Amino acid sequence: MIERETIERFIAKVQQPANGHACWRWRGSTRSGYACMSINNKTISCHRLSWEIHHRAPWPTPLIARHTCDNPWCVNPEHIVPGTYKENRHDAIIRNRGVGRKAASVCKNGHDVSKPDLVYFKNGHRSECRECAKRRSSVRYRIKKTQ
């Protein structure tokens, strides 16, 4: 259960617009652009805290927080959904977010990547479709086997 003092500190740093469905701007500390605050000498993510306050439940681990509004400073619990890293990266590609990412429905070799289960991500640095990953792995295996 979240302490009342923590909830009050959180609310004091949130700018809520008249339209409750719009983004709630965080006016406190940030880390890499994402809202954060310190509780018991531990830095926590405020978008998760907002979700926990709103839903009166602990964050579903091991899932990550996905912003449906694409604003890292937003703490509106309606804009935060639990999801996997893979789903989050797929969102980034579809919405043309992230460094060097381009929205696309096919990979550079023409394979369909419009569905999340068809996209393969390695270490968050390179993206390729499952078919390309399989082919690259197969070629590496054959080369290694002949050596």
pLDDT at 101: 47
In sequence order, which residues have a C-beta less than 8 Å from that of residue 37 and are 6 or more positions away?
9, 10, 13, 28, 29, 43, 44, 46, 49
Report yes or no on whether pTM surpasses 0.85: no
Every domain of the chain and the residues it spans: 4-83, 86-146
107: its two tokens: 């990979």
**Greatest Cα-to-Cα distance within the chain, rounded to the nearest angstrom:** 67
Query: Which of 85, 142, 147 has the alpha carbon at shortest distance from 119?
Result: 85
| ∠ Cα 63 90 80 (to 5°) | 45
Q: Is the pLDDT of residue 117 over 60?
A: no
146: its two tokens: 């002949």
Residue scoring higher pLDDT (132 or 2): 2
Grouping H, G, I as helix, E, B as strand and the rest as coil, residue 49 is: helix
pLDDT digit string, tens, across residues 18-35: 887 899 999 999 988 899
- Residue 54: which H helix or E strand, with range? helix 46-55
Average pLDDT over residues 6-15: 94
Answer for the pair 74, 23: CB distance below 8 angstroms, yes or no. yes
What is the distance between the alpha carbons of residues 18 and 128, in angstroms, rounded to a whole number? 42
pLDDT digit string, tens, across residues 104-115: 566 667 776 666
Answer for the pair 11, 25: CB distance below 8 angstroms, yes or no. no
Residue scoring higher pLDDT (144 or 77): 77
Answer for the pair 61, 69: CB distance below 8 angstroms, yes or no. no
